[in-house]
A and B are shown apart, each in its own frame.
Chain A
Amino acid sequence: MSEENGMSRRMMLVKLGIFLNAIVGAVLAMPIVRFLFSPVTREKKFGYESWLSLGGLEQFPAGQTRLATYRNPVTNSWDGETADIACWVRNVDGQTFQVFAINCAHLGCPVRWFPQSSLFLCPCHGGAYYQDGSRASGPPERGLFQYNHKIEDGKIFIKAGEMPTPGRAANTQSGGATCA
């Protein structure tokens, strides 16, 4: 066996080694990628978004806007208080309700309701919204996010489970029409 032949044979074995490791690497990469992307694929899981009770209607008098809280439907035991989410419930006339996300449509800061001036104001960059959630002024491009809601057995339920952000408000409705 010539030295050249020996070299090429060993080189072939080296290539075989690289090939084998590439295959193993590719096979291992799949579960790693799936693991990493589990927060994204979990969206399809049952119970990700569900109807949650905000409590009896008597807590939300007609013509007023009140703060309500709920526990997120999907939680881990170590989430602590971060899984408690707040929202604003507006009882328009005793029949019609609006449920606004706490998150400003600009960058997600918690908006505060001022009944005296009938405005929602954001502490971060000064976004302001009218009582129907439509944009009044400031940097937000749109009105407050609204949750879908229904009334059953004298309680108000909202469909929630995901933090509303400007890019994914598909599950929520936009606030009322923009007024100048």
Chain B
Amino acid sequence: MDSNRAIGAAGRSGGAAAIEAEGLCAGYHGVDVVADACLRIPSGELVALVGPNGAGKSTLLKLIMGLIRPRRGKIRIGGLAPTAARGAGNVAYMPQHETLDWDFPASVRDLVFSARYPRLRRSGVQRWLPRRLLGREHHQAVAEALSATAMEELADRHISELSGGQKKRVLLARALAQQAQLLLLDEPLVGVDRSSEALIFEVLRDLRAAGRTVVLVTHDIAGARRHADRLVLFNRSVIASGPPEEVMADERALLRAADPLFARGLQGAD
């Protein structure tokens, strides 16, 4: 834990934070969903991004991935422009599983393999080759991702045969197989049973131990508080960012972060 804080501190002194945003404004049709957000996430931290529905969390994720451009302000991912970081395969993304078509003709392994694309692209002709002919490191990365998420035995199942928790685990395995520096997880804990949740947090802690940065969007404040190094309260902009205990102690920030319903939820989580 302390050593990981040291990695974070090194990131700070080296200047290349995992995420660094200043005065970020972005939105759709002229309405800012994200307004004047400032954020600094040192690398090597496990970060929980918490905020009410409609707070602009998904928009923030899209800004970090460079899928939309900020109307104003600056954002850097590991010192790079978001599109450059994404193009280099440095950013892994785990979507919510409800948005996907699980009837798609693919096995668990097929899905996890797709995340090797950024690496394959850098290894010359391999990007054009069928899977059987790919280098061992790719098969190994996929095997490791499957084993970390306890999906090995289901690797040859069709993806429609999975339970909700297993679907989350496949998507997590896909994000792992990319071997990216920064992982963005959108609600990885929704609809997940307790054993899957414990497993997911174990994977995230291992990632942190390896010096990766993990940002998870979540409604589960109790879990975030127990497991995360940093809690970021977000409601159109960053209200508070710091160690969970500090942030939770700041009642003014909590109230500002939240619509009334959400604030009640926070107190309930105490």
Is the pairing of A and B real? no
B residues in contact (CB < 8 Å) with A: none
A residues in contact (CB < 8 Å) with B: none
